[in-house]
Amino acid sequence: MSDFNAYANDEDVLNIEGDALTVSNGTMRVVISGTLEIARDKRGLKAALALRNALDGIVAALRKQGDLPERLEDEPPAASGTVDNPFA
Amino acid sequence: MKKLLAGLLFAVAVHAIAAPSCTQFVPNGQFPLLINQKMAPKTRILCYSDFALLHSGITHGPLWSAEHLTREHLGDAKEQIRTNKFYEEPDLPSGEGATLADYKRSGFDRGHMSPAGDRWNEEAMAESFTLANIVPQDRDNNQHLWARIESAVRRIAVKNGEVYVVTGPLFVGSRLRTIGPTRVFVPTQLFKVVYVPSMRTAFALVVDNTATNRYEVRTIHELEAMSGMRFPGIPESLKDQRIGGLKGV
């Protein structure tokens, strides 16, 4: 079900309750976005556990890295281009 | 082995397109049509387990992505907890599809057209992460305004039983931005076409692909004129309706 491996790749997304809350993996940054309503029911518990597992994984990965910088610099953006609109 | 099997399944799915077997995701079994013939080269319909899309080898992404939302399926969609993976579409000829590298450090989100949150089973949710269903979308837009619009459309489906939705990019202006080595086109706007059969209502929404909180309501006829597409599955008599706005957006 949840094999989210924090900072392992740039492709994984953990979806909780559809896409109410998403945890998007990245080798440099993990992004958590959305709004998750955790109801006082079994589905709420399942969602809360999934979120905790993901956060535990993030904390463990960060703790494991000995040379953690104070603040990670922004990576330089990749070059983008422009093109004549072929549909116009 | 698993990978090979997935590949085989895809091959079968794409084959099924020739005989239009995924028209259940569009109203009256009619896919959107391209009126602007400049958009037609290198387009292919791809069928997935609960959505279908038209991919362009020119823009390197979808031109439209269609889905049929029902109350029952959205109930199941809400239960989904799983790890998905963005992937390059294996069924496109090489050079036509976007690559993972195109989006790396592009500054844009990988924006779903048919959203992951509408998918009602694991296979469909995994499939929604194909880059064939993705466009470069402004990050703030994707995470805020667009997420609220997607939720609002889901609420309409839950309230009324079913809706047909088509989502896609617009490319307006003489010059367009591209990202990555494949030169994936960055849309200038995004649209959603929503048809609620039980309400006899149809409307379109248009949003700039920027960090905006504003959306525009359009009639279906207006969107057809803007997009160079036609939506033949929606009754003509509904195409000039204009709704006030969306609740909760």
Q: What residue spans define the domains of chain A?
A: 13-64
Does residue B248 form part of some domain?
Answer: no
Q: Which residues of B touch A (CB under 8 A)?
A: 36, 38-39, 58, 77-87, 100, 104-107, 115-119, 125, 129, 143, 147, 150, 171-180, 183, 185-186, 228
B244 in any annotated domain: no
In a domain, B245, yes or no: no
Per residue in A39-62, pLDDT (tens digit) is: 999 999 999 999 999 999 999 999
The arithmetic mean of pLDDT across residues A29-40, rounded, is 95
SS (H, E, C) B5-53: HHHHHHHHHHHHHHCCCCHHHCHHHCCCEECCHHHCCCEEEEECCCCEE
pLDDT of residue B21: 77
Q: Residues of A near B (CB-CB distance < 8 A)?
A: 1-4, 10-20, 22, 33-34, 43, 46-47, 50, 75-78, 80-88
Q: What is the mean pLDDT of each run of 10 residues along chain B (249 residues)?
A: 44 46 94 98 97 98 98 91 96 97 95 96 96 98 96 96 98 98 98 98 98 97 98 98 91
B229-246 pLDDT tens trace: 999 999 999 999 999 999
Q: Kindly list the catalytic residues of B.
A: 112
State how far residue A39 is from chain B, nearest Cα, in angstroms. 13
The answer to the question of residue B58 being in a domain is yes
Q: Please state the domain count of chain B.
A: 1
Q: Is residue B15 part of a domain?
A: yes
CA distance A65 to chain B (A): 23
Chain B residues inside the 8 Å CB shell of A83: 175-176, 178, 183, 185
Instruction: Give residue A3's pLDDT band: very low, low, confident or very high (50, 70, 90).
Output: confident
| Confidence at residue A2, expressed as pLDDT on a 0 to 100 scale | 57
Note down the domain range covering B139: 2-238
Q: Looking at beta carbons, which residues of chain A come within 8 Å of B175? A: 82-85
User: What CATH number is given to the structural domain containing B47?
Assistant: 3.40.570.10
Distance from CA of A82 to the nearest CA of B (A): 4
Interchain proximity B84–A19, CB inside 8 Å: no
